[in-house]
Amino acid sequence: MTAHAHHLGTGLAGTLLRRAVLAHSDSAWEAAHRIARDVSAHPATAHLNDASLYRGAPALAYTLHIAGHPAYRPALETLDETVAGLVRTKLTAARERMAAGQPPRMREYDLISGLTGLGAYLLHRRTRPELLEYVLRYIVRLLLQPVTVDGRTLPGWWTSDSPNGQRERAWPYGHGNFGLAHGVAGPVALLALCGRAGFRVPRQQQALVYACRLLEQWSSSVPAGGAAWPETVTADRWHQGPSSSKNPGRPSWCYGTPGIARALQLAALACDRPSGRRHAEHALAACLTDPAQLGSLNDATVCHGWAGLALVVDAAAADAAAGSPLPGQVPFLRDLLAAHLDQHPMTDTAGLLTGSDGILLTLHTLSPTRRVSPTWTTCLLLN
């Protein structure tokens, strides 16, 4: 058994999540139990720099929580303690970093590796509201308290890393990341989802208004209509300000317009900002009618393929304003995903983000005849 087995995005933890979600409708719990035994055969990491919502003890905890089977309760209670300790340690390190006036590493706050992902677990689990409150206070501070890098003021979510999560000479001043998986859209979406669920902290609304203004300002028009966001920006680009986008990126969940637009939509709904909601829904709808953007999708995965796009649109459509074209696009995207799978073999790798488990679970989640609850998508910050 390797650490890869405890990875939600690329390992057996993703397979267990799929089996458990489906077992609620088909009662095939033995298959889920078999995978749970395999995944739990060895301890999952809880190391500060390794464990996250998508890896190690928190990934296993999220999966067992979503499963909701009584047989998993003792293990889940033990994992809960481990995750709580990890969150406290990460928060302490983050506060010390903030006190020193340094920018964060990507893994401090992002969805995949950081406190945003752990906050998503706490939101769905709802057993430690006081700990979730501390995470939300941290996110508010992250969004509202700027940092200084090389004498220049940058936003508090500006990371000292390069886009691959490492410090590199080619990125001496780090970068700004707008994506849902690794950038500012992640904490924004979590803050909004928590507000929707009744979890609120001081200055939360102020932070959400800031987020809406930020994302509205940094979207730019694209040739086919609509708008798109830069995936990443350098310090020089940040200080130059937004510019038009001639070549928008692929419409993906992780870095692209769909994920960022969903974060903006959630934030706008949470702080009652109609302009932000219109902006988000227009950008998302427009990318679905842009052949250039759709043509840049070359796989079916959740992370950066057709499945992720379909899940985002399904979630956004449920919250869309009256008259929005988004609800009508869900069957269209479901058909496009099926057509892609007819023409290309499905990956045989495990995992929710880049493996077959995410694709299969998406098909069930969007199925008009055998639909499963989308509540599992909290790990994607969609619901």
Strand, coil or helix: what is 149? strand
Predicted pLDDT of residue 370: 76
Locate 16 and state its tokens. 């267990």
Cα separation values, 235 from 154, 162, 188, 260, Å: 8, 12, 21, 20
Q: Which amino acid is at 382?
A: L
Structure tokens at 190: 């979590």
Kindly state the helix (H) or strand (E) to which residue 177 belongs, with its residue range.
strand 176-177
* DSSP strand pairing (176-177 vs 220-221): unpaired
DSSP state of 117: H
On whether the 101-380 domain is CATH 1.50.10.20, my answer is yes
Q: How are beta strands 152-154 and 147-149 bridged, if at all?
A: antiparallel
| pLDDT computed for residue 262 by the predictor | 99
DSSP state of 154: E
Tokens, residue 303? 């992370």
Dist. CA 378–CA 66, nearest whole Å:
10
Amino acid at the residue 200: R
What six digits make up the tokens of 107? 């893994």
pLDDT value of position 3: 46
Burial of 92 (0-12, 13-18, 19+ CB in 10 A): exposed
pLDDT digits (tens), the chain, 383 positions: 444 789 999 999 999 999 999 999 998 999 999 999 999 888 899 999 999 999 999 999 999 999 999 999 999 999 999 999 999 999 999 999 999 999 999 999 999 999 999 999 999 999 999 999 999 999 999 999 999 999 999 999 999 999 999 999 999 999 999 999 999 999 999 999 999 999 999 999 999 999 999 999 999 999 888 899 999 999 999 999 998 777 888 999 999 999 999 999 999 999 999 999 999 999 999 999 999 999 999 999 999 999 999 999 999 999 999 999 999 999 999 999 999 999 999 999 999 999 999 999 999 999 998 778 999 999 999 99
Taking a C-beta distance cutoff of 8 angstroms, is the pair 219, 268 a contact? Answer: no
